[in-house]
Amino acid sequence: MTPSTPSARRRGRRLVYRLAAILVAVGVWQLFAAGPGASSDFPSPAATARSAADLVTTGEYWSNIGHSVTTALIGLAVAIVGGLVIGLLIGVSPAARRSTQLLLDFGRTVPAIALLPLFLLLFGATRQLGVVLILVSAVWPVVIQTSYAVGQISPQLKVVARAYHLTRWHRLRYVVAPSMLPFVFAGLRIAATLSLLMAISSEFLGGSDGIGYVLLQAMQINDSDRAFVYSITAALLGVLLNLVFVHLQRRVLWWHSSVRTGGAA
């Protein structure tokens, strides 16, 4: 028996449990569609699957996915860069952390959707609208996690860095980055989810191209099968984006205890 056998068994059990949960959800979906939802033409899993099979062969389907994902990734990139820079600037100074605490608490509680009418007037139904909404909503987890992580760096590490006369770049690379990355990745995973959510929401409410807009069109003409396909597509994209960041976290933080013990799953 190899040492990896117990962990392989645990992974196998988790996979079985997840598949069982999916089957239960599909079963409940089928029961609802055949029962209470029948009067409102609630689509069944089979009808949704047939509609999905027709849509995935069209260029429109993939074009809308590409548009939404591109908007989400552009907004996420801007939020990550801005959040890291602002978080570092706040985190290195106790006075800056104290003076910005109220602003951060206020900013992260303001829903970006509440600012949609203003941004719609400024940017119209364009990709810029989605990018700005993503920035306003996704930057806060990155800023907060980064500033907290930098502020929690051990004073002993700072003393050692000064004793060895490390340059600012070497302090950032060998002291700050390893200490803050475990916290930052938690903020990145939240920001990634928010970026996709806000991209689709901006398309749905603003009327720009993408999954959100075609979902709105399907609802307006009461095409529930098509609406369900795009809703499930959005959910699967969110899961895929989260898995990408989990994989990236495991590759970057392979040395950290949270990854070695499976905490990043």
Q: Give pLDDT tens digits along the chain (265 positions).
A: 444 566 778 888 888 998 999 999 999 999 988 888 888 778 889 989 999 999 999 989 999 999 999 999 999 999 999 999 999 999 888 888 888 888 888 888 888 888 888 888 888 888 899 999 999 999 999 999 999 888 887 777 778 778 877 887 888 777 877 878 888 888 899 999 999 999 999 898 887 889 999 999 998 888 888 999 999 999 999 999 989 988 898 888 777 666 655 555 5
pLDDT at 263: 54
Other beta carbons less than 10 A from residue 52's beta carbon = 18
DSSP-derived secondary structure letter, 113: G
Q: Please identify which residue in the block is written with the tokens 């119209």.
A: 124
pLDDT value at residue 220: 87
Q: Cα separation of 240 and 18, whole Å?
A: 15
Structure-block tokens of residue 55: 């849509």
Cβ neighbours of residue 232 under 8 Å, at least 6 residues apart? 48, 52
8 Å CB contact between 79 and 179 = no
CB 210 within 8 A of CB 218: no
Can you say whether the dihedral through the CA atoms of 214, 220, 226, 228 is positive or negative? positive
Instruction: Indicate if the alpha-carbon torsion angle 242, 245, 251, 257 is positive or negative.
Output: negative
Nearest to 179 by CA among 200, 214, 149: 149
Question: Which of 144, 154, 145 lies closest to 175 in space, CA to CA?
Answer: 154
- Name the nearest CA neighbour of 227 among 62, 55, 63: 55
At residue 95, the pLDDT reads 87
The type of residue at 187 is G
Give the distance, in angstroms, between the CA of residue 119 and the centroid of all CA atoms in the same chain: 22
Q: Is 230 left (phi over 0), alpha (psi -120 to 50) or beta?
A: alpha
Alpha helix stretches (DSSP H) within the chain: 5-34, 45-55, 59-91, 94-109, 116-123, 127-151, 155-163, 168-171, 177-206, 211-220, 224-252, 257-260
Question: What is the structure's pLDDT at 75?
Answer: 95
How confident is the model at residue 205, as a pLDDT?
A: 84
